[in-house]
């Protein structure tokens, strides 16, 4: 049995890294949505952080990072034909 060439191994690992990055991004989005629900239920970021045993800045940053991504418009073609 012949070993897999290094170039192919690099391609495989790059593909795996991309899959993992996509999974992390999806998870962060879902987590931020859940945190927002917690804020709506408990009334503040501080209350959510206290309930979860996390710092309020970590909760605030997680929410803001995802809401910032949603607010940023995607750049696309600007011409119409």
pLDDT tens for the chain, 81 residues long, are: 889 999 999 999 999 999 999 999 999 999 999 999 999 999 999 999 999 999 999 999 999 999 887 776 666 565 554
What count of other Cβ atoms lies within 10 Å of the Cβ of residue 45? 21
Assess if residue 79 is contained within a domain.
Answer: no
Quote the number of domains for the chain. 1
Alpha helices in the chain (DSSP H): 6-42, 45-52, 56-71
Identify the pLDDT of residue 76. Answer: 58
Assess if residue 42 is contained within a domain.
Answer: yes
Q: Judge contact between 62 and 37, C-beta under 8 A.
A: no
What residues make up the domain containing 45? 28-71
Q: Judge contact between 35 and 65, C-beta under 8 A.
A: no
């Amino acid at each position: 049995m012949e070993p897999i060439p290094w170039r192919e191994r690099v391609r495989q690992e790059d593909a795996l890294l991309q899959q993992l990055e996509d999974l992390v991004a999806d998870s962060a989005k879902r987590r931020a949505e859940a945190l927002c629900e917690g804020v709506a239920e408990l009334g503040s970021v501080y209350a959510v952080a206290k309930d979860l045993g996390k710092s309020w800045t970590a909760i605030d940053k997680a929410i803001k990072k995802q809401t910032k991504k949603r607010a940023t418009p995607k750049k696309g073609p600007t011409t119409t034909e």
